[in-house]
Structure 1
Amino acid sequence: MSTSETEVSFEQAIEQLERIVAQLESGDVPLEKAIELYQEGVRLSHLCGVKLEQVEKKIEMLVEGEAGVTRKPFQPVLEDKGN
């Protein structure tokens, strides 16, 4: 990952990704430009995923039990999409 990618915040990457999606959905983009935008969107999507993984590793849940408060690694709860 380049230095410029690590300097982009998650929020900035999401905003750029939203602009790209809006441009592509408009249908007014020439094919060559659409391909470039798509590639940039994939890069930004990957960057956001990496940043989320880094944050998840940092988050710890505090669990209170009989022995007091203990630390437990964060494990996201996945929603059941079958309902």
Structure 2
Amino acid sequence: MVRSKNWRENIVIDSAVLTGKPIIKGLKVNSMQHSLLPTCCFMRTESEILRNYLGLAHENIQAFWMYASYLLRTERGYPVNISHKVD
């Protein structure tokens, strides 16, 4: 059960940390966090993720998915016309 529906309580975006890349609040900043997206996308179970990322909690994974959902909902697409002739 997710205690909070606000991903901002678990995900931190700070321009002074990793040039503003989102990180999980309270975890030591390291390169391991950057592989969380591919890990989740390759159909790992939550228990496998928690076993491989010490210090990560269920709430962190839920916040991660809420943040990903937020990004997809707020993403803007800009059409670009790239039609050109090649001689």
Whether TM-score is above 0.5 comes out as: no
Structure number with greater CO (CA < 8 Å, separation at least 6) is 2
Structure having the higher strand fraction is: 1
Higher Cα radius of gyration = 1
Structure having the higher helix fraction is: 1
TM-score normalised according to structure 2 size: 0.36
